[in-house]
Every structure is written in C-alpha cells, then in structure tokens.
Amino acid sequence: MVPVAWEDYFWPPMESRAAIWIDFLPTGDLELASMELFDLGAMGLEELDNGALRAWLPLLWDRSQIPLEWKICGEGEVEAKDWDLSWRLQQEPLRVTDRLVVVPPWVENPQDAEICLRMEAKQAFGTGGHESTRLAAKILEVLPLDGKTVFDIGAGTGILGFYAKILGASQIDLCDIDPDAIPCLEENAALNSIQDWKAWAGSIEALGSDVRYDVVLANMLRTEFFPMRDQVLALMPVGGLLVLSGYLARERELVMEWFASAGLELAAEAAEGDWWAGAGRRIK
C-alpha cells in the first residue's frame, strides 16, 4: 500500500489540533486510571515523579468527565502548531504483535512486517500501544476467524475489528459510544481498503434481538463490560467466541467465574505486565 504524503494527508483545521494537558492525582490503581483516561479521550499520558498522571487532551475536551474523586494538580495548553508537529514526528510504525505493525498513513511499510494496518490515533483509542490492544490482537491470531462474522464493541480506531477482517473474517460490525471514533473508523477503513464493514456511534442496544455474531471483541474495562455481559452473551450462538481484554491479571478469576456460570470455556489467553486477556467459547 502506498503511503500518503504527510503534507497531503487530510487534517482538521490547525485550531482543533491544539492540546491541553492536565495533571491528575487519581485514586486507586494507576494502570486502570490510565486506561480510563485513554477511554475518555487522552491522546497521550506521562507518569510524573510526583505520582501524578499528565494527560494530553484535545483543546475542547469535556472536563465534566473527570471522576469526582480525582484531584487536579496542574494544567496548561500547548500551542496548536507545536502540538501538531510534535504529534506527527512522534508517530512511527508500532509493532503490535509478531505479525502486525501499525503504520502512520504517511510512513512506508516496514520491510519486515507481515501485516500492516495504516492508521493514526487522532482522538480515538487504539493504535496498538496499549497492552490490552496488543493482547487482544495476539488472541485474534490464534482464533479461527476465516469466514466468521465479528462484532467489535468499543472499537476506537477499529484496530481489532479491522485486524480480524484482515485475518479472514467475512463481515465486521463496530461500535463505540465515543462519536469521535466514527470518522476515525471511516478513515481507517478507507486507508486499509476494508470491505464488508459497518459502524455506529452507540453500543449494543442498537442491535435487534435476532442478531448473532460468530465472534465478539470487547477491549474495555471490566466495569464497562460486565454491565452488558448478558446482552453480549445473547448475541453468541453455541460455538461463538468472545474475546475480552482490558483486565488486570488479578481480575482473571472474576472472568473465569463468569465464564463458568455463563457456559463459556476458556479458548485462549494471554498476559503482559499487569494486563490479561482471554477468549471464551460458548459451549451451552
């Protein structure tokens, strides 16, 4: 695939590329807080010496999303021009798994990459830098996806759903409650010549009661996924697969308990650092 010259690559007006930074002192686990911040639209995070998390956020970021119990200990703004340039310069091909590399649209495909996905983060989560995405991508590689219908809940940039399509899925449906994800999905689908896909802003409630998928992907926090787990189960026929990521290793047992009570058997699992991902097959 030919890279797009970065000067020619479509960008929103400069003003909308400006960023703010906010230093948070989150309560509880820093790993979970960082995932939550990415979920809430952070474009980058840095752990500071004082234990705070500096989040780089879009200029017009909705501050009402900040969890009430988190303290703010600093904030500022980055000039649009500086942010835009440093953001682009930072972006390089990123190896997600042994097989998959994510490549910014204006960069050549690395010669040693077996599969390249062209995408840029913009404001949606998912360029493969986070362990939860890497683990889910690894799991996709060992699942039988050929000719399967796949549903990616919380798709972000579409990295997992589009990877499933490249690995052989016949149809990929994607959704995200973040409306910013939709233009990003459209752009990434075009950049990667993805066919047979559809996406909507919203979640599982948009689906009719007769809809079924062979494979469901959900890389999101347990607190986000568990409330909808019964609805997800209803989408899966016996034999259907559910890929869960975004779990701390210590949460594995909670997932195993739910698998056992819901009639799912563990089909694959992977772990990296503090993070865990697993796939369940519906057996009854």
Ligand X SMILES: C[S@@+](CC[C@H](N)C(=O)[O-])C[C@H]1O[C@@H](n2cnc3c(N)ncnc32)[C@H](O)[C@@H]1O
Q: Which stretch binds ligand X (CB under 6 A): 55-63, 67-75, 98-106, 151-159?
A: 151-159
Instruction: Out of 26, 105, 154, 280, name the contact with ligand X by CB under 6 A.
Output: 154
Contact at 8 Å (CB) between 96 and 137? Answer: yes
- Tell me whether residue 117 or residue 267 sits nearer to ligand X (CB atom): 117
Name which of 171, 123, 118 is nearest 18 in CA terms: 123
Residue from 22, 116, 181, 191 touching ligand X (CB under 6 A): that is 181
Chain residues 229-268 in contact with ligand X, contact rule CB under 6 A? 246
Chain mean position to CA 115: 18
* Residues 264/253, Cβ–Cβ less than 8 Å: no
> Interface with ligand X by CB under 6 A: which range of 20-28, 65-73, 88-96, 132-140?
132-140
CA 182 to each of CA 8, 124, 125, 161: distance values in angstroms, whole numbers, following the listed order: 22, 9, 12, 13
**Any contact of residue 185 with ligand X (CB under 6 A)?**
no
Please name the residue that has the structure tokens 């503090």.
274
> Out of 91, 97, 133, 149, which residue is the one contacting ligand X (CB under 6 A)?
133
Does residue 220 belong to the site contacting ligand X (CB under 6 A)?
A: yes
Instruction: Find the binding residues for ligand X in span 23-62 (CB under 6 A).
Output: 35, 39
Please list, in sequence order, all residues whose beta carbon lies within 8 angstroms of the beta carbon of residue 53, skipping any fewer than 6 positions away: 23, 24, 25, 26, 30, 33, 34, 37, 45, 46, 47
Residues 107-126 that bind ligand X (CB under 6 A): 124-126
